[in-house]
Amino acid sequence: MAGLWFEEFKEGMVFEHAWSRTVTEMDNVLFSSLTMNVQPLHLDAAFSAKSEYGQQLVNSIFTLGLMIGMTINDTTLGTTMGNLGMTETRFPKPVFHGDTLRSQSKVVSVRASKSRPNAGIVEFEHRAFNQRGEEVAFCRRQAMMLRKPK
């Protein structure tokens, strides 16, 4: 598995994820349409041109998903049972079409599961940055991770 087992995570570990991704207009329009988010700031170029941003904003939930998605290969690919929650989510800077994002993760805490002897809970802080190094997204994510098979 590419992901780490519960026992391999240590508090304070930092991952600089190698994946990056340029966000396109198609990403934004398709994601917003599929999730029925008809906010004109995401879908209407003429409307958005008159906004304070002067252009369309990328859907923040797409940004959140992309940020976390870029972390999976290094952390949880094939070794997670699922997400337990995401907290403290924020978007300090907007994302626009053509921005290239990268992610960073830090392990905040590691604890054994009280209800599942084959698992533990790892809390991550994920951050996404644009091509200028500006932080565009942040969240804490709690993941239930499998213990390494004996």
Taking only the tens place, the pLDDT of each residue in 24-52 is 999 999 999 999 999 999 999 999 999 99
Residue 39 contacts residue 80 (beta carbons within 8 Å):
no
Length of the chain: 150
Is 2 a residue whose pLDDT tops 90?
no
Is 1 a residue whose pLDDT tops 80?
no
Q: Return the number of other C-beta atoms located less than 10 Å from residue 37's C-beta.
A: 15
Amino acid at position 120, single letter:
G
Taking only the tens place, the pLDDT of each residue in 10-28 is 999 999 999 999 999 999 9
Tokens of 84: 């337990």
15's CB contacts (< 8 A; 6+ apart) are: 71, 74, 75, 104, 105, 106
Is 150 a residue whose pLDDT tops 90?
no
Structure pTM? Answer: 0.94
Correct CATH for 6-23+64-146 of 2.60.40.10, 3.10.129.10, 3.40.390.10, 3.40.50.300: 3.10.129.10
Tokens of 135: 């932080």
| Segments making up each domain of the chain, as ranges | 6-23+64-146
Taking only the tens place, the pLDDT of each residue in 71-121 is 999 999 999 999 999 999 999 999 999 999 999 999 999 999 999 999 999
